[in-house]
Structure 1
């Protein structure tokens, strides 16, 4: 066999013998799809419009450390360390 024409990973073609057929036939565009109904996309949830005169419900704000001062045990109200 000529090493000049050797392609790594390619199937060697023996002269006079047709290449082996792939075990999976190629899917032609005319092949009918399996009878599976397409999944409908979920409709977007409609955003309720604010009613005039009614305040919008505000989502609860997450507590962030350091944003609100809390009196920890051992600290006085004027934030001087307890002795």
Structure 2
């Protein structure tokens, strides 16, 4: 049986506009607000703690190069 990860409650404050945007995004993505906040904090720490790009950015670049390589080569000339 898989155990749930331990979660710790905390309180903070944010602007009403930021909270509304986060709640809207969570609803649009079908996620709980807490899950979206957890994801945002993880990505923030990853960006701060490393000098490498995030994995999804690298993957998107690779797909773009595959699709538009000939165009990029023409533009580079």
Q: Please indicate, yes or no, whether the TM-score normalized by the shorter chain is above 0.5.
A: no
Structure number with the higher helix fraction is 2
TM-score by length of 2: 0.22
Q: Considering only CA atoms, is the larger Rg found in Structure 1 or Structure 2?
A: 1
TM-score by length of 1: 0.21
